[in-house]
Structure 1
Amino acid sequence: MDASELISKVRKIEIKAKGLSQNVFAGEYHSAFKGRGMTFSEVREYQYGDDVRDIDWNVTARSNRPYVKVYEEERELTVMLLVDVSGSQDFGAVGDSKREMMTQVAATLAFSAIENNDKVGVIFFSDKIEKFIPPKKGRKHILLVLRELLDFTPESKGTDLNRALEFLTSALKRRCTAFLISDFIDEHDYYKALSIANSKHDVIAIQVYDKREATMPNVGLMRVADAENGAERWVDTGSKHVRQAFDRWWYKRQLNMSDTLRRSRVDLASIATDEDYVKALMGMFKRRVVTH
């Protein structure tokens, strides 16, 4: 897109996202994420009532008296947006394209973060790390992030969630809140990388999908193409067996994703491209307040 069109889109998304972050998400974001991180402060002698899980066994062994670790709440967060820019994100049959929806979601989360004086960074990924924007504060930085979200062109079309998660684990030394924004169409097993990343950071999964990916319409013979590898084939959508097989594929994929996230203890918000993402995010924020 040309410069004037890009500026116009940036401005429109900024107005909407900033309004939501100030008026709708402010309390929920703060409650769901603020102060979750704890950083080590000091050690002191054990006192009656202290949690035995906080005992520093090394110091205790050296001093022959029990000592516990003391933590203090982190007053600001680092928020990382892990944004899937693979070829499948350009698909859009019902409502916005997945890429457009992901941009709106990411922008709203970014503005919510800076409203709380948090740092925001971005990892664009496909089947490789496409671009890393280190976390910073401020409106100028967020507008840079938003321009990249709207106008970034990846070098690769494939998907590998492992690459993004491993990069997050190695690149961010201090604990952060990481939103993994993807359609989760990935043939790799990413359980191990996700578990490791979530043990070090606080990872939240946001799935963006198109309802045409969940149910095949009955429109007769149709040529379909894989947006990531370019493979094409003709599919008889008029066949009940073909449509049922597609439904089973979608159900199994969703089940595998949900099971992987559950075992990794990662929260999920699932958003269709024709739905109000505000409702899904609010629901996820409120669940975190109750369960965390």
Structure 2
Amino acid sequence: MIPKELAKKIRYIQIYTSKAVNDSLAGEYESMFKGRGMEFDEVREYQVGDDVRSIDWNVTARMGEPYVKRYVEERELTVMFMVDLSASGAFGSSGQTKNEVAAELCALLAFSAIKNNDKVGLIVFTDQVEMFIPPAKGTTHVLRLIRELLSFSPGQKDTDISAAIEYLGRITTQKSVVFLVSDFLGENFENQMRVLGKRHDLIAISITDPREICLPDVGLIELEDAESGERILIDTGSAAVRNRYNTFGTDKQKQLKALFRSMAVDHLSILTGQNYLRKIVGFFRTRERRLRR
């Protein structure tokens, strides 16, 4: 049995994301992600303007007049969600933790995928892969993914993005759309991400809490690293301390953005507490315009 609170949350996400997909996202998703290629559809009579290279000479000889082969885009895709649910994702200062926002984002994108008849799968990782759900279609499957994300209790605290990427490389050879969702506080994942970006259509989604960038003036506070357990006492009453912290947080975001740009990996930056639907739609439109050039 699913706990009542969890069932209520799953239902809320289903209703919200389904409405968002129908109202805003379905068309953007379909136009952004192209199929794996072209598949044969039919043979029809030649019409003025048709490419002569598409003429089916066997049918033409048999019928005594020109016929052409018609192809349509093969739309079905495999979409993989690689979601970092390590201990640092349990932090949240805006009513939701980073992990909860990650679950909602994946739900939104997964419902967009199945509306276009694509398959979706899930890899949940910390410093090791802790869960793998093979790609499949359908609303029931997506609801299972959401339930697993919301109820997941990590066995480890640390983060190893490289291990998750290597795992994906072992389980799939087919080119997929890969959403890598993390706060990217791990290290030494750059080389593996470059390789992943060459093999798959990779989109990095970074999730950050506002308090990881900017601290308010609330006096003495103790901060704890969720993964290492290290603690530090900070005097937020000091303007100099706040400025150094804010500069550090802002620089880290800039470095992450520059890193993905250097890898030629598409990057969507999400701040907890903000309207992420608008950010996703804007990201899809920008990417589509770029791919058309």
Instruction: Give the TM-score normalised by structure 1.
Output: 0.84
Q: Find the counterpart in structure 1 of residue 219 from structure 2.
A: 220
Q: Deviations over 1:60-102 (max 9, x none)?
A: xxxxxxxxxxx98532000011111011111111242211111
The code of the aligned residue for 1:241 comes to A
In the alignment, what sits opposite 1:83? 83
What stretches of structure 1 of length at least 5 have no aligned partner?
Answer: 42-49, 51-70
Query: Partner amino acid for 1:121?
Result: G
For residues 128-207 of structure 1, what are the structure 2 equivalents within 5 Å?
128-186=128-186, 188-207=187-206
Provide the secondary structure at the position in 2 that maps to 1:287.
helix
Q: How far is the alpha carbon of 1:241 from its aligned partner?
A: 2.7
Change (3 A) 1:196 1:72: farther
Matched to 1:119, the amino acid is: K
User: Residues 221 and 234 of structure 1 are in contact (CA less than 8 Å); yes or no, is this contact kept in structure 2?
Assistant: yes
Q: Report how far residue 40 of structure 1 moved.
A: 10
Q: Which string of whole-angstrom CA distances, capped at 9 and with x for unpartnered residues, describes residues 112-151 of structure 1?
A: 1100000000110111111111111111111111110110
Question: Match for 2:272: what amino acid?
Answer: T
CA distance in 2, matches of 1:218, 1:239: 8
Matches within 5 A, 1:269-280: 269-280=268-279
* Cα RMSD (Å): 2.3
Deviations 1:202-223 (A, max 9, x none): 0101111111110122211111
Shift of 1:183: 1.3
Structure 1 segments (4+ residues) deviating >4 Å: none
5 Å-filtered alignment, 1:71-150, equals: 73-150=73-150
For structure 1, which segment, 84-93 or 162-171, has the greater mean C-alpha deviation from structure 2 after superposition?
Answer: 162-171
Report the Cα distance in structure 2 between the residues aligned to 1:210 and 1:251, rounded to whole angstroms.
Answer: 12
CA 1:218–1:144: 2 relative to 1, 3 Å: same
User: Is this contact kept in 2: 1:94–1:212, CA < 8 A?
Assistant: no
Q: Which residue is equivalent to 1:265?
A: 264
Partner residue, 1:45: none
Partner deviation per Cα, 1:10-37 (whole Å, 9 max, x = no partner): 11111111111222101100001132x3
The answer to whether the 8 Å contact 1:84/1:182 transfers is yes
| CA distance in 2: counterparts of 1:142 and 1:266, whole angstroms | 26
**Distance (whole Å) between structure 1 residues aligned to residue 38 and residue 127 of structure 2:** 33
1:2 CA displacement:
5.9
Whether contact under 8 Å (1:195, 1:264) holds in the other structure is yes
Asked if the contact 2:39/2:74 (under 8 Å) is kept, the reply is no
- 1:134 match: secondary structure: strand
Q: Indicate if the aligned counterparts of 1:22 and 1:115 stay in contact, CA closer than 8 A.
A: no
2:236 corresponding residue in structure 1: 237
Match of 1:208, SS state, is strand
Mapped contact 1:114–1:120 kept (Cα < 8 A): yes
Unaligned ranges ≥5, structure 2: 41-52, 54-70
Structure-2 separation of matches of 1:265 and 1:150: 31
Give the aligned partner of residue 252 of structure 1: 251
Q: Quote the sequence identity (%).
A: 41
Q: Please say which structure displays the higher CA radius of gyration.
A: 2
**1:261 counterpart letter in structure 2:** F
Alpha-carbon distance between aligned partners in 1 of 2:23 and 2:77, rounded to the nearest angstrom: 20
- 2:287 partner SS: helix
Q: Cα 1:39–1:239, aligned 2, differ >3 Å: closer, same or farther?
A: farther
Aligned to 1:11: 11
Distance (whole Å) between structure 2 residues aligned to residue 182 and residue 72 of structure 1? 36
